[in-house]
């Protein structure tokens, strides 16, 4: 085995600063991309739905599912992709008299903005066409399906979620990205999210 | 590794007390204890004492040789290994402390804390490296890079980012690679190697066993190439195994996806061609592969064997079975014959395959007792004939003096 001491590429101090700056910048980007959604977005109140199997508390986060997570086939406009492909849906949300927002229209292409409605984009997913039996509903994610809670507090949220007493206020920015702003049980705020 | 003396230290074999023993006790054992027992060091020390006792080598020369080995940068050092392990434990402790304390501290304070840690680790590493404290510097680099991974997870948790675990792992791996390059650090090469495995693990877990979607897993060989490039750039030859093993694990995963005889055949063919390309002195790749030691030939040979094992499982019927068995025996002999002298790893794998295939052949039954008996007779004769060839081959290998060029 040949052993040589290799000369470093740059001086260690410069290397340290370069690496630390890059890593800090990435962490800052992660935090700011979320904060900008909360800062500029519009509120939508969402109803959560129970999840099967019920025990989905993993570590310290609660998995949330919403009634807008399931897109019924009759709301889909503009047709389906004909081949299996990476897809992303554009979902129009409309406010109901009870204050909750529901899906009024969804498409695999971008939807145009319309007053009184908000367009949210789903996370990318893989779509398989089923020509003989069209899907009754498509399950989608919005990037607000996970909520981390302090150790031991997850169970309260889980129970509320499974009793359909949990509501979530999310913010949607102009590009259709969502972040959780507030979690409430029976209408009473439980967790309110600061920007940073 | 079994050597001639069966691993028994010379001191237990009743060698009379004389100069060489004094040499071994004073220098050998003293250094051995101080430095820890690395396998190669143990063997070289034993051989040196033997040569000194036979008068082939003077005691001061042997002493100087050992001292040279111990003085090498990357020879095994218990202290350095413990330092790195301590670095890993400390990183874990810091991350858990920050994670557990999450109500007591405001979120932004936790972010500032972990970013400060990253800066502290890298800057202190730079200071240590600048002053020649390479072991401590490497440990601090490892801590900084592990802390960055923890920071990604922590920020993701604190801000409820449902982001992709694969993306997070890839960013972490990329950060480790960048740090490896700018610091030209061997320790970070090893960290990058392990992170490439972590990326693979997350990809397999996320995708389940499905061919469609998430094409990233098909780019995994690029990660292996990146790690090998880092290994060559930093000269951290031991980290090479991480990349080769990852490549084999990935090929194994692909085979689980597409369990077809043709793919097994390709594995065998590609593995054997690569083995020949890295072992035959006339090959244009020979010198390049040789720089990487025994690994390229060994892992290529292993891939060929994996292909053959898969073919054994896939193929049914007496004809194909016999053909594959014959090829397997021939390949094991070819491995021993071509690379066995210079490459202990290939040699032992060749022996193991030969023995395994023989047992497999011996356990094949042919339906009737008479048929089985006949098969045992034939296989006994054939195996005896092959054993004779192998013994001849072995004698030639050990009897011939080492040739000049490799």
Sequence ranges of the domains in chain B = 10-71, 259-406
Whether B309 shows a pLDDT value over 50: the answer reads yes
Which pLDDT band, with edges at 50, 70 and 90, does B75 fall under?
low
pLDDT for B33 equals 41
Residue B162 and residue A146: Cβ atoms within 8 Å? Answer: yes
Nearest CB to B293; choose among A1, A22, A31 = A1
Residue B147: closest C-alpha in chain A = A23
Chain A contact for B103 (CB, 8 A cutoff):
yes
Token pair recorded at residue B39: 């396998």
Q: Would you say residue A1 has pLDDT above 60?
A: no
Question: SS3 for A179?
Answer: strand
Q: Does A180 touch chain B (CB under 8 A)?
A: yes
Q: Which helix (H) or strand (E) holds A23?
A: helix A12-40
Distance from CA of B364 to the nearest CA of A (A): 44
CB < 8 Å to A88, chain B: none
- Across the range B91-117, mean pLDDT stands at 77
pLDDT in tens, B12-27: 333 444 444 444 444 4
Residue of A9, A10, A14, A16 for testing the chain B interface, max B β-carbons within 10 Å: A16
Average pLDDT over residues A103-121: 90
Residues of B in contact with A3 (CB under 8 A): 72-75, 235
CB contact under 8 A, A18 and B182: yes
Q: A153 to chain B: nearest residue by CA?
A: B103
State the pLDDT at residue B333.
82
Contact B111 A60 (CB under 8 A): no
Are the Cβ atoms of A143 and B162 closer than 8 angstroms? yes
Residue B370 is predicted with a pLDDT of 65
* Nearest Cα residue in chain B from A141: B162
pLDDT grade for A64, boundaries at 50, 70 and 90: confident
Q: What is the pLDDT of residue A169?
A: 92
Please give the mean pLDDT across all residues of chain B. 79
Q: Which residue, among B131, B133, B160, would best test binding to A if mutated, counting the most A CBs under 10 Å from its CB?
A: B160
Contact call for A9 and B184, based on CB within 8 A: yes
Q: How far apart are the first and last CA of chain A?
A: 51
Highest mean pLDDT among B164-173, B310-319, B365-374 belongs to B164-173
Average confidence (pLDDT) over B133-138: 87
Tell me: pLDDT of B389 over 90. Answer: no
A61 near B CB under 8 A: yes
The answer to whether the CB atoms of B160 and A12 lie below 8 A apart is no
Statement: residue B9 has pLDDT above 50: no
Cα–Cα dist B230/B224, whole Å? 10
pLDDT average, residue stretch A189-195: 82
Q: What is the percent of chain A where pLDDT is above 90?
A: 24
Looking at residue A55, what is its pLDDT? 44
Q: Which residues of A touch B122 (CB under 8 A)?
A: 15-17, 19-20
| pTM (2 d.p.) | 0.75
Judge whether B205 is closer than 8 Å to chain A, CB to CB.
no
Determine the distance from the C-alpha atom of residue B222 to the mean position of all C-alpha atoms in its chain, rounded to a whole number.
18
Q: What is the ipTM of this complex?
A: 0.76
Out of A12, A145, A146, closest to residue B183 by CB: A12
Q: Which of residues 63-82 of B touch A (CB under 8 A)?
A: 72-75
Higher confidence at residue B206 or residue B371?
A: B206
pLDDT band at B160 (very low <50, low <70, confident <90, very high): confident
Distance from CA of B6 to the nearest CA of A (A): 24
The per-residue pLDDT of chain A, averaged, comes to 82
Whether the CB of B231 is below 8 Å from some CB of chain A: the reply is: no
Measured CA distances, B53 to B25, B49, B309 (Å):
13, 6, 47
Q: Tell me: the pLDDT tens digits for B273-283? A: 999 998 888 88
A79-to-A141, A142, B128, B228, B319 alpha-carbon distances in Å: 20, 21, 62, 47, 54
Are B3 and B39 within 8 A, CB to CB?
A: no
Interface of B with A in 347-406 (CB under 8 A): none
**pLDDT higher than threshold 70 for residue B373:** no
Query: Per the omega criterion (within 30 degrees of 0), is the bond before A53 cis?
Result: yes
B132 — contact with chain A (CB < 8 Å)?
no
The residue ranking higher by pLDDT, A47 or A5, is A47
Measure in Å the smallest separation between the Cα of A128 and chain B Cα atoms.
10
| pLDDT-wise least confident of A92-106, A142-156, B61-75, B363-377 | B363-377
Size of interface A-B (CB pairs under 8 A): 126
**How far apart, in whole angstroms, are the C-alpha atoms of residue B173 and residue B203?**
13
Inspect the interface and report whether the beta carbons of A24 and B144 lie closer than 8 Å.
Answer: no
B115/A30 Cβ within 8 A: no
Q: A12 and B75: CB-CB below 8 Å?
A: no
Percent of chain B surpassing pLDDT 90: 26
Answer whether residue A54 shows pLDDT above 70: no
């Amino acid at each position: 085995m040949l052993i040589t001491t290799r000369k470093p590429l740059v001086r260690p101090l410069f290397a340290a600063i370069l690496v630390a700056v890059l890593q800090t910048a990435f962490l800052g980007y992660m935090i700011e991309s979320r904060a900008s959604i909360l800062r500029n977005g519009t509120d939508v109140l969402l109803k959560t739905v129970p999840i099967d199997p019920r025990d989905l508390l993993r570590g310290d986060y609660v998995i949330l599912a919403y009634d807008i997570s399931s897109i019924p086939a009759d709301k889909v406009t503009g047709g389906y992709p004909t081949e299996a492909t990476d897809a992303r849906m554009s979902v129009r949300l409309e406010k109901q008299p009870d204050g909750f927002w529901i899906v009024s229209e969804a498409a695999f292409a971008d939807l145009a903005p319309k007053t009184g409605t908000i367009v949210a984009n789903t996370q990318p997913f893989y779509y398989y066409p089923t020509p003989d039996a069209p899907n009754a509903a498509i399950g989608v994610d919005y990037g607000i399906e996970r909520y981390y809670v302090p150790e031991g507090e997850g169970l309260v949220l889980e129970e509320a979620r499974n009793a359909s007493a949990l509501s979530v206020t999310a913010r949607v920015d102009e590009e259709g990205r969502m972040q959780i702003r507030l979690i409430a049980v029976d209408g009473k705020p439980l967790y309110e999210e600061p920007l940073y | 590794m079994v050597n001639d003396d069966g691993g028994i230290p010379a001191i237990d074999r009743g060698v009379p007390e004389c100069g060489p023993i004094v040499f071994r006790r004073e220098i050998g054992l003293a250094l051995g204890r101080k430095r820890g027992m690395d396998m190669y060091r143990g063997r070289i020390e034993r051989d040196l004492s033997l040569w000194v006792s036979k008068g082939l080598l003077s005691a001061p020369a042997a002493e100087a040789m050992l001292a040279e080995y111990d003085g090498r940068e990357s020879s095994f050092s218990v202290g350095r290994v413990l330092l790195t392990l301590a670095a890993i434990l400390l990183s874990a402790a810091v991350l858990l402390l920050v994670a557990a304390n999450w109500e007591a501290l405001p979120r932004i304070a936790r972010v500032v804390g972990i970013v400060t840690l990253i800066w502290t680790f890298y800057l202190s590493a730079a200071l240590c490296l600048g002053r020649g404290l390479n072991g401590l510097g490497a440990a601090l680099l490892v801590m900084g890079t592990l802390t960055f991974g923890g920071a990604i997870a922590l920020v993701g948790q604190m801000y409820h980012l449902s982001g992709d675990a694969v993306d997070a792992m890839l960013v972490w791996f990329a950060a480790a690679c960048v740090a490896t390059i700018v610091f030209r650090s061997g320790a970070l090469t090893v960290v990058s190697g392990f992170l490439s495995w972590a990326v693979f693990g997350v990809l397999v877990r996320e995708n389940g066993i499905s061919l469609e979607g998430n094409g990233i897993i098909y780019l995994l060989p690029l990660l292996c190439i990146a790690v090998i490039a880092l290994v060559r750039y930093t000269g951290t030859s031991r980290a090479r195994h991480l990349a080769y093993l990852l490549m084999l694990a990935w090929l194994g995963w692909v085979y689980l996806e597409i369990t077809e005889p043709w793919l097994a055949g390709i594995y065998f063919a590609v593995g054997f061609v690569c083995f020949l390309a890295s072992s035959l002195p006339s090959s244009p790749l020979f010198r390049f592969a040789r720089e990487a030691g025994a690994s390229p030939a060994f892992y290529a040979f292993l891939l060929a064997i994996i292909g053959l094992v898969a073919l054994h499982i896939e193929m049914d019927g007496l004809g194909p079975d016999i053909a594959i068995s014959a090829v397997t025996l021939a390949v094991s002999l070819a491995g021993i014959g071509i690379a066995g002298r210079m490459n202990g790893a290939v040699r032992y794998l060749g022996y193991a395959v030969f023995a395994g295939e023989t047992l497999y052949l011996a356990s094949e039954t042919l339906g009737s007792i008479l048929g089985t008996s006949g098969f045992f007779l034939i296989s006994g004769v054939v195996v005896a004939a092959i054993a004779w060839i192998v013994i001849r081959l072995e004698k030639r290998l050990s009897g011939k003096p080492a040739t000049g060029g490799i």
